[in-house]
Amino acid sequence: MATAHTAHRHYYVPESSQWPIIATIAIFTMFLGGALTLNQISQGHEVLGAGFLLFVYMLFGWFGTVIAESENGKFGDWEDTSFRMGMMWFIFSEVMFFAAFFGALFYTRVLSVPWLAGAGTKVATHMYLWPNFLADWPLLKIPNNYGFKEAKEVVSAWGVPALNTAILLTSGATVTWAHWALKLNKRGQLIIGLMCTVALGILFVSLQAKEYGHAYNELGLTLNAGIYGATFFMLTGFHGFHVTLGTIMLFVILMRSIRGHFKPEHHFAFEAVAWYWHFVDVVWIGLFIFVYWI
Amino acid sequence: MSEAAAHHDDHGHHYNGGISRWLTTTNHKDIGTMYLVFSLVMFFIGGAMAMIIRLELFKPGLQFVDPQLFNSMTTLHALVMIFGAVMPAWTGFANWMIPMMIGAPDMALPRLNNWSFWILPFAFTLLLSTLFMPGGGPAGGWTMLPPLVLQTGMAFPFLIFAVHFLGASSIAGAINVVATVFNLRAPGMTLMKLPLFVWTWIITAFLLIASMPVLAGAVTMLLTDKYFGTSFFSAAGGGDPVLFQHIFWFFGHPEVYILILPAFGIVSAIIPTFARKPLFGYSSMVYAAGAIAFLSFIVWAHHMFTVGMPLAGELFFMYATVLIAVPTGVKVFNWVATMWQSSMTFETPMLFAIAFVVLFTIGGFSGLMLGVTPVDFQYHDTYFVVAHFHYVLVTGAVFALMAGTYFWLPKWTGHMYDETLGKWHFWISTISVNVLFFPQHFLGLAGMPRRIPDYAVQFADWNMVSSIGGFVFGLSQFMFVIVIVKCVRGGAKATDRVWEGARGLEWTLSSPPPYHSFATPPEPATIDGGYR
């Protein structure tokens, strides 16, 4: 790859930048505020909020700088390849982050819940600790509900979750439709495709929020409802958070498209966000199958 | 780095003066220097904690610290040394050396690079500030096993967030290495001509990208278990505390190779240089490193043989673990074969590299013993384990770091270091480190448990010997600092090639190299795949 480009041009190495250190200070402040809040120290929220504001300021600054560089033609194919690799491996690291929670789900479903009910060599645990415990999934009756509040019911797969699956899959199609348009330089179709994708993203998150309300208020399914509630909300919660981020990223891409950014042959930011969107889509398929459905 | 200032205007780039140069730099050498200095500082902070541990264990009974502080010293010593000393040191070496070794102008993502570094001091501020909080620092061990770790007081969220922060730094650094090596190699620098340090670092980078997010997930579940009512690790709610161990060690075992693979790379650069002979079996070295990395993902439960796994699990993890001895054996064989019938000289880097081969292999053998399930039932959580991983991490990773520092210090500073002082540093370190850790094998075999501030009197003699070794080793590291400071400030002028047998692109640059090294890529003819 390098061979083709080095003969006639330099790799773009940016000048010194204040944004990374501001990012660090912002995240540090948020962590500090979070830790103080969790320790019930009263100023925690203010520190957290200040860190968040600084973080948002940093996002505008850092991305603004990079967008300006991109629009001024600083990045060629050679730099693009670095960005692509960076985004690709960042998404892979996100996959591994979700893998930890999927691992927890599979381990409890397949191994440890049956063990608690006396499967395998764990008869003694069952006999002496919780002889009445029965392995079941979704697990509504937990071994000992001291400190926990059992759920009455779990969210059915064939209501809102199935609808949300359709919404997210459709949004994957609309973002691809927008991408085709960008490559053919059909700006109108690009903007319409992105608008649809953003709208579907917002719809997904709203329905998910409504479903959370239903789970908490009517079904009694909470973070505190034992291992089913814990894995359910951890997986769908982090997924929902990623959809929210993805929607914000798509919105930024939409705004840039309206301003006339991106060229048919040069639009890394669009592709990075599209990859990210497909990634949250794929995670959702895993969630729909293993959390809601089977 | 006043030398660098001379090259101030090399290619029309400039940097800010004073502290803001370091805060905002995007230069791989500046960032590499910051990583290395930070790592050295953390090495002494973690070392001071080790001194407190050895002081308390000098005699049976409680002398100096209360058990809570002792436990937080063992916990923080591990976290500081792993995440603060060894990992940043490797990233520092990667920053300095990889662009120069592959003929690149800089790292591929320079601003991300700055961010990866600056996270570290802030993350350690979060972590180490806990020592001054009511309730003290985290004291449940660096493995953070629930339910014990959930009893941590105010320090708990600081511990978790510090781990998240450090993980982000590692992932960003690893992504940068991958993008740099795959995208910024000079024309003619094919993959199988890469110096082994670059190879081992790419493999390390993949290990980091795959394992650090899993740790982030694990500690996130700890956080929600403590504050948000989840029951991942509580059997009462249908979870399982052993689940944490599985997830943690899925990160933790690749982490072990993250700490040691770059060491293999450095030793593979140093031994051929001072043996004046190409490395024996270059391609087998590459494949062995890959095989070790692959195996590292399927051996995690050998850290948990005693938790009560099904027999099939015990057997699988035992065989997979012992299998790692094969590629590791290939590496040790190749280093020895490189030295065979060569014209060796014994400058300080070579001394450290040879000590690495011998002492790391001892650590490898004790690892083999621990990998055998029935034997591990006896050794688990004893000082034998402590002896094992200190052989691989101190006389392994840290010795390779020192070897690498002596090896490239003349290149970085433009001055030769004080060879006499370097040799003194080597011999005192090597003798004292063995006095420190070898007796711990005996203590462990005799049954002394890990992570205790007090012990039965039968263990008194070897603990005293071990502590004496520890104090000497700790003090002797000040010689390392003196050598470095003297070398930075002046000394005999280093030539470009520095070492007679040195091969590779970094030696074609001046000593010290210009602020921007390969703004235009080197001629393909200068790439000789010297490490083959």
CB–CB of A85 and B114 under 8 A? Answer: no
CA distance B463 to B55: 10
Secondary structure letter of residue B114 according to DSSP: H
DSSP states of B346-396 as a string?
A: --HHHHHHHHHHHHHHHHHHHHHHHHSHHHHHHHTTBHHHHHHHHHHIIII
Domain coverage including residue B134 = 2-8+29-526
- Please tell me which residue of chain B has the smallest CA distance to A93: B209
Candidates B20, B171, B238; nearest CB to A93 = B171
CB–CB of A85 and B183 under 8 A? Answer: yes
Candidates B110, B180, B186; nearest CB to A14 = B110
Q: What is the mean pLDDT of residues B123-132?
A: 97
Residue of B54, B77, B390, B411 marked active site = B77
Examine residue B122 and state whether it is found in any structural domain, yes or no. Answer: yes
Say yes or no to pLDDT of B5 above 60: no
CB–CB of A82 and B183 under 8 A? Answer: yes
Alpha helices per DSSP H over B446-529:
460-489
SS3 content of chain B, % helix, strand, coil (to 5): 70, 0, 25
Candidates B183, B185, B238; nearest CB to A227 = B238
Examine residue B68 and state whether it is found in any structural domain, yes or no. Answer: yes
Per-residue tokens: B431: 């003798």
Residue ranges of B 416-455 with Cβ closer than 8 A to chain A: none
CB–CB of B235 and A147 under 8 A? Answer: no
pLDDT band at residue B519, thresholds of 50, 70 and 90? Answer: confident
Examine residue B502 and state whether it is found in any structural domain, yes or no. Answer: yes
pLDDT at B15: 67
Which chain B residues have a beta carbon less than 8 Å from that of A38?
A: 156-157, 227
CB–CB of B26 and A144 under 8 A? Answer: no
- Domain limits of chain A? 1-74, 80-293
Which chain B residues have a beta carbon less than 8 Å from that of A23?
A: 115
Residue of B331, B390, B503, B516 marked active site = B331
pLDDT at A5: 45
Total Cβ atoms within 10 A of residue A150: 18
pLDDT tens digits for range B10-66: 444 566 778 889 999 999 999 999 999 999 999 999 999 999 999 999 999 999 999
Which chain A residues have a beta carbon less than 8 Å from that of B13?
A: 13, 15
Q: Does B190 touch chain A (CB under 8 A)?
A: no
Which chain A residues have a beta carbon less than 8 Å from that of B520?
A: 6, 10
Q: What is the dihedral of CA A195, A198, A200, A204, to 10 degrees?
A: -170
Distance from CA of B371 to the nearest CA of A (A): 23
Helix (H), strand (E), coil (C) string for chain A: CHHHHHCCCCCCCCCCCCHHHHHHHHHHHHHHHHHHHHCCCCCHHHHHHHHHHHHHHHHHHHHHHHHHHHHCCCCCHHHHHHHHHHHHHHHHHHHHHHHHHHHHHHHHHHHHHHHHCCCCCCHHHHHHCCCCCCCCCCCCCCCCCCCCCCCCCCCCCCCHHHHHHHHHHHHHHHHHHHHHHHHCCCHHHHHHHHHHHHHHHHHHHHHHHHHHHHHHHHHCCCCCCCHHHHHHHHHHHHHHHHHHHHHHHHHHHHHHHHCCCCECCECHHHHHHHHHHHHHHHHHHHHHHHHHHC
From 1.10.3720.10, 1.10.287.70, 1.20.1050.10, 3.40.50.1980, which CATH number describes the A1-74 domain?
1.10.287.70
CB–CB of A16 and B179 under 8 A? Answer: no
Examine residue B49 and state whether it is found in any structural domain, yes or no. Answer: yes
CB–CB of A93 and B165 under 8 A? Answer: no
Active site residue B77: yes
Active site residue B268: yes
Instruction: Answer whether B100's CB lies under 8 Å from B505's CB.
Output: yes
CA distance B132 to B154: 10
Say yes or no to pLDDT of B8 above 70: no
A115-119, A212-216, B448-452, B454-458: segment of lowest average pLDDT: A115-119
pLDDT at A294: 87
Q: Does B224 touch chain A (CB under 8 A)?
A: yes
Instruction: Answer whether B49's CB lies under 8 Å from B77's CB.
Output: yes
Q: Does A33 touch chain B (CB under 8 A)?
A: no
CB–CB of B217 and A101 under 8 A? Answer: yes
Active site residue B8: no
pTM for this predicted structure: 0.95
Per-residue tokens: B418: 């004080």
Residue ranges of B 309-348 with Cβ closer than 8 A to chain A: 310
CATH code where residue B419 lies: 1.20.210.10
Phi/psi region, residue B164 (left: phi>0; alpha: psi -120 to 50; beta: rest), is: alpha
Candidates B109, B174, B221; nearest CB to A104 = B221
Report phi then psi at B83, rounded to 5.
-90, -20
Q: Does A250 touch chain B (CB under 8 A)?
A: no
Instruction: Answer whether B161's CB lies under 8 Å from A34's CB.
Output: yes
Distance from CA of B227 to the nearest CA of A (A): 7
CA distance B322 to B177: 30
Q: Does B239 touch chain A (CB under 8 A)?
A: yes
pLDDT band at residue B114, thresholds of 50, 70 and 90? Answer: very high
Residue of B303, B411, B425, B441 marked active site = B303
CB–CB of A35 and B161 under 8 A? Answer: yes
Q: Does B516 touch chain A (CB under 8 A)?
A: yes
pLDDT at A6: 44
Q: Does A55 touch chain B (CB under 8 A)?
A: no
Which chain B residues have a beta carbon less than 8 Å from that of A3?
A: 187
ω into A131 cis (within 30 of 0): no
Residue ranges of A 154-213 with Cβ closer than 8 A to chain B: none
User: Residue-wise over B466-498: b if at least 16 C-beta within 10 A, else e?
Assistant: bbbbbbbbbebbebbeebbeebbeebeebbeeb
ipTM metric:
0.95
Q: For residue B344, what are the contacts with CB-CB under 8 A and spacing of at least 6?
A: B274, B275, B276, B350
Higher local confidence (pLDDT), B4 or A214? A214
CA distance A54 to B236: 41
pLDDT at B2: 39
Which chain A residues have a beta carbon less than 8 Å from that of B522?
A: none
Residue B7, classed as helix, strand or coil, is coil
pLDDT at B529: 57
CA distance B279 to B404: 17
Per-residue tokens: A229: 């509630």
User: Residue-wise over B63-83: b if at least 16 C-beta within 10 A, else e?
Assistant: eebeeebbbbbbbbbbbbbbb
Residue of B30, B255, B314, B376 marked active site = B255
Candidates A20, A103, A145; nearest CB to B247 = A103
Secondary structure letter of residue B493 according to DSSP: B
Examine residue B165 and state whether it is found in any structural domain, yes or no. Answer: yes
pLDDT at B353: 98
CA distance B443 to B456: 11
Q: Does A234 touch chain B (CB under 8 A)?
A: yes
The highest-level CATH class for domain A80-293 is mainly alpha
Distance from CA of B315 to the nearest CA of A (A): 16
Residue type, B259: L
Distance from CA of B82 to the nearest CA of A (A): 20
Examine residue B422 and state whether it is found in any structural domain, yes or no. Answer: yes
CB–CB of A17 and B26 under 8 A? Answer: yes
Say yes or no to pLDDT of B3 above 80: no
- Please tell me which residue of chain B has the smallest CA distance to A104: B243
Domain total of chain B? 1
Q: Does B524 touch chain A (CB under 8 A)?
A: no
Interface test with A, best of B29, B114, B132 (most A CBs within 10 A): B114
pLDDT at B17: 77
CB–CB of A16 and B158 under 8 A? Answer: no
pLDDT at A122: 76
Q: What is the mean pLDDT of residues B361-379?
A: 96
Rounded percentage of chain B residues whose pLDDT exceeds 90? 91
Alpha carbon of residue B343 to chain centroid:
30
> Which residues, given as ranges, of chain A have pLDDT below 70?
1-9
pLDDT at B165: 98
Active site residue B303: yes
Examine residue B69 and state whether it is found in any structural domain, yes or no. Answer: yes
Q: Does B67 touch chain A (CB under 8 A)?
A: no
CA distance A72 to A87: 22
Q: Does A24 touch chain B (CB under 8 A)?
A: yes
Examine residue B22 and state whether it is found in any structural domain, yes or no. Answer: no
Which chain A residues have a beta carbon less than 8 Å from that of B210?
A: 92-93, 96
